[in-house]
Amino acid sequence: MQHPKAKPGRFQPESVELYRLDRDPGETDNLLEREAGRAESMLSQLKAWYAETQEEATKQLGGW
């Protein structure tokens, strides 16, 4: 079900944050700068997964 005011979205503009939820459940210590390589790898994997799933996704009314 779609919210009547919802609009199709994308991952843009990219806003990346990285947290260790087991140590920082309140997400107060963004590790992005200290773990830049890990964050880059994770974002790359996310984008690859997203692209793969979009190829097989059933097109929805309204361009989703």
For 1-64, strand residue ranges (E) read none
DSSP state of 59: P
Whole-model pTM?
0.64
Look up residue 22 and give its two tokens: 């087991």
On the question of pLDDT at 61 being above 60, the answer is yes
Residue at 39 is within a domain: yes
Residue 6 vs residue 61, higher pLDDT: 61
Domain boundaries, position 46: 18-55
Residue at 3 is within a domain: no
On the question of pLDDT at 23 being above 60, the answer is yes
Residue at 4 is within a domain: no
Q: Spell out a b/e string for 1-40, using b for 16 or more CB atoms within 10 Å of the CB, else e.
A: eeeeeeeeeeeeeeeeebbeeeeeeeeeeeeeeeeeeebe
d(CA 9, CA 60): 13
Residue at 12 is within a domain: no
On the question of pLDDT at 7 being above 90, the answer is no
Number of domains in the chain: 1
